[in-house]
Amino acid sequence: MREAADEMLDYRGLGLSVMEMSHRSKAFGEIMESTEEGFRRLAGIPDEYAVLFLQGGASLQFAMAPMNLARNGKADYLLTGVWAQKAADEAARYLDVREAATGEAEGFTRIPDLSGLSFRADADYVHLCLNNTIYGTRCTDLPDTGDIPLVADLSSCILSEPLDAARYGLIYAGAQKNMGIAGLTVVIIRKDLIREDLPEWVPLMLRYQTHFKAASLYNTPPGYAIYVLGKVIRWLEGLGGLDAMAEINQQKAALLYGYLDQSRLFRGVAHRDSRSLMNVTFTTGDAAADADFVKQAQEAGLIGLKGHRLAGGMRASLYNAMPPEGVNELVEQMAAFEKERIG
Ligand SMILES: *Cc1c(COP(=O)(O)O)cnc(C)c1O
């Protein structure tokens, strides 16, 4: 953000801001190219995959994936939380959607066993949400889908750890949680899944083919968000890449879960085998005490700890941008609150 602020009014002596540039200009072309190259290098994206910079958020991908990938008109969905459910509901507008597994019986606090699941042989794809932002769970393993492409929402965990893109047919993620600012959605798609023969009614803007052919410049892209992504990529490379980032993220999560597991007041909500490294959900078990803690934490400068309205309790989001010191401060605040309440 400091670098962006320094360049805000005058990008590299050009006398204009990235915000003011034409998306067809040479300077922006370089930003676009170096950002895609950097992303591919950082995340190790194989050549058979396209990286697209789109708009509409992950929510638009809930619709674009079924519109673009349907051949037989069927898809199997793993229901692991709110976003997975939304993706399935949207797909059901276009396809025959089958629920392949669901964590609903346990209030989505645990990822169902994904080994040994069976999928319809003629399903066009299997969809999953790798990290469940609201309930604080994550899939630690991927289901074996054989030749059926795996489509995954990585909005809240992308670039938090190494990515094995080859295991997926399509990956999508909004940029605003782990990759920068709102307005940009990154789509990583195996090129053989980019189809030309789509039904007439699929809008040109909602076809992967349109954006692939135009190198994400079919229309005006979210230029500033792409520029910020470029900066985030360079920051991650400076840290030592995704392995180094993963280690830092594991340490942050271990600190908070470690505290929760010995606390006599707070407890973690997600089951141990399903715990997210990015979103840590916790509670005292008493809504009034939870609210008191959120208020006290906020006064101490620890912001945004109130849990999602559907999950209740508290949630600490430890995205890449959260430094370990922030987690330290949270744990100290929790320990002080615990001491004050129960000695
Ligand atoms: C935040 C989030 C979304 C919604 O993203 P938008 O970019 O707002 O559409 C979808 N899926 C997951 C996993 C998320 O965390």
Q: What's the pLDDT tens digit per position in 148-182?
A: 999 999 999 999 999 999 999 999 999 999 999 99
**Percentage of the residues of the chain whose pLDDT score is greater than 90:** 99
Whether 83 lines ligand 1, by a CB cut-off of 6 Å, is yes
Question: What is the C-alpha to C-alpha distance for residues 156 and 297, in angstroms, rounded to an integer?
Answer: 23
Respond yes or no: is residue 83 known to be catalytic. Answer: yes
Respond yes or no: is residue 76 known to be catalytic. Answer: no
What architecture (CATH level 2) is domain 242-342? Alpha-Beta Complex (3.90)
Respond yes or no: is residue 213 known to be catalytic. Answer: no
Residues near 264 by beta carbon (within 8 Å), at least 6 away in sequence: 338, 342
Q: What's the pLDDT tens digit per position in 3-18?
A: 999 999 999 999 999 9
Whether pTM > 0.85 for this model: the answer is yes
Question: What is the C-alpha to C-alpha distance for residues 259 and 240, in angstroms, rounded to an integer?
Answer: 28
Q: What's the pLDDT tens digit per position in 40-55?
A: 999 999 999 999 999 9
**Percentage of the residues of the chain whose pLDDT score is greater than 70:** 100
**pLDDT level of residue 288 (50, 70, 90 thresholds):** very high
Q: Which of 76, 153, 252, 290 is catalytic?
A: 153
Residue 96: predicted pLDDT: 98
Centroid of ligand 1 to alpha carbon of 176 (angstroms): 9
**C-alpha pair distances (Å), 208 with each of 50, 194, 290:** 10, 6, 44
Centroid of ligand 1 to alpha carbon of 46 (angstroms): 25
Residue position matching structure tokens 């090129």: 191
Every domain of the chain with CATH number 3.40.640.10 lies at 2-239
Q: What's the pLDDT tens digit per position in 68-77?
A: 999 999 999 9
Which CATH number does 2-239 carry? 3.40.640.10
Question: What is the C-alpha to C-alpha distance for residues 297 and 338, in angstroms, rounded to an integer?
Answer: 12
Q: Coil, strand or helix: which one is 196?
A: coil
Centroid of ligand 1 to alpha carbon of 61 (angstroms): 10
Whether 57 lines ligand 1, by a CB cut-off of 6 Å, is yes
Q: Whose alpha carbon is nearest atom 1 of ligand 1? A: 155
Residue 147: predicted pLDDT: 96
Q: Whose alpha carbon is nearest atom 12 of ligand 1? A: 155
Question: Which helix (H) or strand (E) is 77 found in, with range?
Answer: strand 74-79
Every domain of the chain with CATH number 3.90.1150.10 lies at 242-342
Q: What's the pLDDT tens digit per position in 232-247?
A: 999 999 999 999 999 9
Between 193 and 310, residue with greater pLDDT? 193
Share the mean pLDDT of the chain.
Answer: 97
Atom of ligand 1 nearest to the CA of 174: 7
Enter the tokens of residue 343: 């000695």
Neighbours of 206 (CB within 10 A): 17
Residue 343: predicted pLDDT: 86
